[in-house]
Amino acid sequence: MSDWLKVNLTKDAAEAHWGDKALLSFTGNTATVHATERRRVQQAGRRLRSQGITQVQLGEGFDQELQWAFAEGFMSTLGGEQIRWAGDDAELDARLKVARWVRDITNKGPEQKSPQVLASEAASFISALGGDKVSYKMISGEALKDAGWTGLYNVGRGSVRPPVMLVLDYNPGGEEAPVAAALVGKGITFDSGGYSIKASEGMLNMKADMGGAAMVTGGLALSILRGLDKRVRLILCCAENLISGHAYKLGDIFTYKNGTTVEIVNTDAEGRLVLADGLLMAGESGAPLIMDAATLTGAAMTAVGSNYNALFALDQEVAGKVLAIASGEAEPAWPLPLEPFHQNECPSNYADTANSRPVKGGGAGGASNAAGFLSRFVPNGGKGWVHLDLAACFNNNENGLWAAGATARGIRTVARSLLDLA
């Protein structure tokens, strides 16, 4: 036990010799956090981990939520840290297990996680939790083309490692049980931008462009650990967006299974192209609740920063419920505009729509226009559909709250939505 630092929490200020605004003080092998506000407690966890401390025993003063805030700050990019809770807590154990998986798979380099590997690891993770309640299939390469999944096939065909659609069914209710919810995740395991190539600095962290796939997988996993008893379909659209003689090009026109034609004016607006297939697949399930998650646009991060995820919905009732859930789960989300007219904000002379506007970043309102594009591929006029643009799921560099890399911020929102809304 001597190797473990005990950490207590108090609302009282530190003694004067620690400084007027001291967050931490120390006595022997005990640290005291002088804060009760969530953000400050997370900062304390980050500071201690940055000092090289790897083992902590949380003690007096911590409630469940503040223990989790500390853990979010204490978790590191390279791992190796150990946390003992203030008492036995199955919920915190579940969050930690899932958050670590989401962070680890997102932080892996692109050579370590081809589309096939991402799909396989997600299926294995859920299968280990759900046992015989889980079944799945993978559609890969030319089979995607044959089945009509044109967006995923074309985005991924520039790589020698084929694109893959994972279709996983978690069904605790038997063959006749209806699908209560469908989750769709963007799984671009590396994004060069294609022929609309990114600058080197913009490409560096594109291993994380599969953050949406990791997030919805993690959300399903956490809901299972919380006792999910409803049938859920998980759809991951996994591909590498690379340049080659076989890659898709500007000016190409795709025809989707619902008849929508799309002109490609920016090969770096690929996420919405693969999600369109996933949303069509989700619609085929008949699920009344459809949630998709993606690191879709830089415009969302420009709008809300890296502390919030951006939320879009045509169905304002479900949007309000998910926003309330996000707030209750301490994973802030913020609504950005989405109206039916946003479907037509990327016009084309040659197809029903373009996949973006032919200007840097998609132009003004880029995040809303991307969501408007997706709304063409959801059933029932968007009733029951929510789109999360994950501005808060990854940090390029360490800061006072987070280690560099994935944050897993969003798993609790997805999990609670499945439990409460599906």
CA distance 45 to 47: 6
First-to-final CA distance of the chain: 44
What's the farthest any 2 CA atoms get from each other in the chain? 72
Task: Choose among 248, 266, 241: nearest CA to 357.
Answer: 266
Which of these is catalytic: 40, 84, 97, 198?
198
H or E element, residue 66: helix 64-74
DSSP code, position 364: T
Please name the residue ranges forming H helices in 140-266. 142-147, 150-156, 200-203, 211-225
97 among known catalytic residues:
no
Specify whether the CB–CB gap between 71 and 92 falls below 8 A: yes
CA distance 84 to 1: 11
Torsion angles phi and psi, residue 218, rounded to 5: -65, -40
**Which residues lie below 8 Å from residue 368, measured CB to CB, with a gap of 6+?**
312, 336, 337, 338, 342, 345
Report angle CA 276, 392, 201 to the nearest 5 degrees.
85
Torsion angles phi and psi, residue 404, rounded to 5: -60, 145
82-84 and 55-58 as β-strands: parallel, antiparallel, unpaired?
Answer: parallel
Specify whether the CB–CB gap between 154 and 254 falls below 8 A: yes
Handedness of CA 33, 35, 38, 44 (dihedral sign): negative
**Which residues lie below 8 Å from residue 282, measured CB to CB, with a gap of 6+?**
182, 183, 184, 233, 235, 290, 292, 378
Which of these is catalytic: 161, 186, 272, 416?
272
Specify whether the CB–CB gap between 121 and 218 falls below 8 A: no
416 among known catalytic residues:
no
Residue 40: other Cβ atoms inside 10 A? 17
CA distance 212 to 160: 23
Residue 111: other Cβ atoms inside 10 A? 11
Catalytic site positions: 198, 272
